[in-house]
Amino acid sequence: MLTGKPYFMVGIKASGCLYDIRINDVTVTEEIRGLPMSADLPANHFMLSGKNLLSIHLRPIGEETELAPSAEVSASLLVRQSGTPRESNQTIAILRYQAGREELEDRIAGSTPTGKKDSTNGFLSSDTGDVNVDSIESLPTPDGKGVIIRREIELTTSIPRWAWLDSDEIPETDETKKELSLQYQKIWDLLKSGNVQGKLPPLFAERTKELATAFYTSEKEMAPNGLESIVADQEYEIADMYLDHALFRILGKGKLARFLFWNGMPLINFNHKTEEMSKNFEIMFRKSGGDWIITR
């Protein structure tokens, strides 16, 4: 299951709190309004061959100072072979947290037990298994109101090593925010101008190449064609970014950076001119030798 063309996903069920679910410290999904979620989201482009860190960051909704007893989040690392139906997903490991319980053992009940699993036999426990599911660590969020739970899952797979893993450390400073703001502004100005023919592919070259590799498809399929199309669509117009109020995120253990709207949506956004519809485009940067590079 881990050889050939493995297709990894994170199965998410969450309610009663704000949550940020990550693979290798890169957000798979973040909900900062407290809306419940039940979804399976692709994760190949964040996965590694070796140790992978699955984590859940939970925080209370609104002005609450602690998690509500009803808060509950689970993240399951799933895999199937690319091209097969979702019904063929196999569960590698589950990370689950339920607030309102006295002991940590009870709060993480439902998580996969620590130990080795056999990828050739439905990821059942095995002393000779090729997948190692580590113990669960629990620690408070920086503001002390929530909790972070995480565990490492070690496996060998055909996923290559991504460029962002070996890029520069990005400091979480005002200067970094200014630099990154300029990168977003440059892209926004280009999109706003409408003159994008042939100009987007070079900016998105690394992202296009690595996503094509991650999801076993062509670079043509993963090229920023959707951006070119939406710029040409007269029914849509690019929305203001309000960079001064954007949420700033450093991810990937300091190797990735991005901005988000206040509601957690991607900053590059096009609104329909007459209907309540929009199209969002995620952009994530890394830094190498002083240059900012769109990598996701």
β strands within 82-185, DSSP E: 90-98, 115-118, 124-125, 131-133, 137-140, 147-155
Structural tokens at position 21 = 């679910």
Do 221 and 142 fall within a single domain? Answer: no
Do 268 and 182 fall within a single domain? Answer: yes
Which among 53, 51, 45 is positioned nearest to 22, based on CA atoms? 53
- CA 93 to CA 187: how far, in whole Å? 39
Q: What's the confidence (pLDDT) of residue 292? A: 98
Mean pLDDT over 166-181 rounds to: 97
Last residue of a domain, one of 128, 159, 190: 159
**Chain segment 112-131, per-residue pLDDT in tens:** 999 999 999 999 999 999 99
Tell me if 1 is assigned to some domain.
Answer: no
Mean pLDDT over 169-176 rounds to: 97
Q: What's the confidence (pLDDT) of residue 279? A: 96
Q: What's the confidence (pLDDT) of residue 151? A: 98
Beta-carbon contacts of residue 42 (< 8 Å; ≥ 6 apart): 7, 8, 9, 215
Last residue of a domain, one of 140, 159, 178: 159
Last residue of a domain, one of 123, 138, 159: 159
* pTM of the predicted structure, to 2 decimals: 0.94
Task: Give the number of domains in the chain.
Answer: 2
The percentage of the chain sitting over the pLDDT mark of 90, rounded to a whole number, equals: 98
pLDDT band at residue 106, thresholds of 50, 70 and 90?
Answer: very high
Q: What's the confidence (pLDDT) of residue 4? A: 93
**Chain segment 224-264, per-residue pLDDT in tens:** 989 999 999 999 999 999 999 999 999 999 999 999 998 88
Length of the chain: 296
Q: What residue numbers bound the domain in which 254 lies? A: 164-294
Tell me if 283 is assigned to some domain.
Answer: yes
pLDDT band at residue 215, thresholds of 50, 70 and 90?
Answer: very high
Q: What's the confidence (pLDDT) of residue 174? A: 96
Q: Report the amino acid identity of residue 180.
A: L
Do 154 and 171 fall within a single domain? Answer: no
Do 155 and 174 fall within a single domain? Answer: no
CA 210 to chain centre: 15
Mean pLDDT computed over every residue of the chain = 96
Do 152 and 181 fall within a single domain? Answer: no
β strands within 86-233, DSSP E: 90-98, 115-118, 124-125, 131-133, 137-140, 147-155
